[in-house]
Amino acid sequence: MVTIIDYGSGNLRSVQKALERIGVEARITDDPNVVAESDRLVLPGVGAFGDAIRAIRSRGLAEPILAHVRADKPFLGICMGLQLLFESGSEGGHHEGLGILPGDVTRFELPQGMKIPHMGWNQVAWRKGDGMHPAGNDGDHFYFVHSYVARPRDPAVIAATSDYGGDFCAAVARGRLFATQFHPEKSQAAGMELLRTFFNQR
């Protein structure tokens, strides 16, 4: 059973439905005890970094998430669920994140004329040997909606990049933790195949 963490923000049902389409049973919960007992976690989310991390802490969800990752159990972060893994975010002030990965989350710095948020389909380039890209080749398009980007201090955690006014971190991986800035649940066939790969391999 996969547990989707509910902290009051985001696309929980669409993630659940995407997992059901690939044959993965998933429950949605905000109960920290259920999260603590889970074998596999999904941390989705949209919205502002500060609001999200406050909600996670106020619901007592931070510690079971940290314990799960420390135990190297399968963990999937989506969009805000990637950003919250880092030490800090600068949206609406300085906010401490979960601190699982070294680095911070800052607003896009783009050439004049490029729009924020970055919204739409972009190609993703996967790091060699990552194993998460089902076909083993670059070129698939995934759906992004974001104004802020993760800037990992350790380049080894970057599993994939994409290009919007310059390369940015599109996915991270460490051990059995994997997280994407894009939305696999909204990325049609490529997204479904990526979810299938993650849950089959992990």
For the annotated catalytic residues, the residue numbers are 79, 183, 185
Residue given tokens 């919007």 in the structure block: 164
Environment class of residue 98 by beta-carbon count within 10 Å: exposed (0-12), middle (13-18) or buried (19+)?
Answer: buried
| Tokens coding 94 | 């300085």
Q: Order across the sheet with 86-89: list the strands.
A: 95-96, 86-89, 101-107, 148-152
Q: Tell me the CB-side half-sphere exposure of residue 31, using CA atoms within 13 A.
A: 8
CA 42 – CA 32 distance, rounded (Å): 14
Using CB atoms within 10 A of its CB, is residue 92 exposed (0-12), middle (13-18) or buried (19+)?
exposed
Bridge partner residues of 52 (DSSP): none
Q: Of 15, 21, 182, which is closest to residue 6 (Cα–Cα)?
A: 15
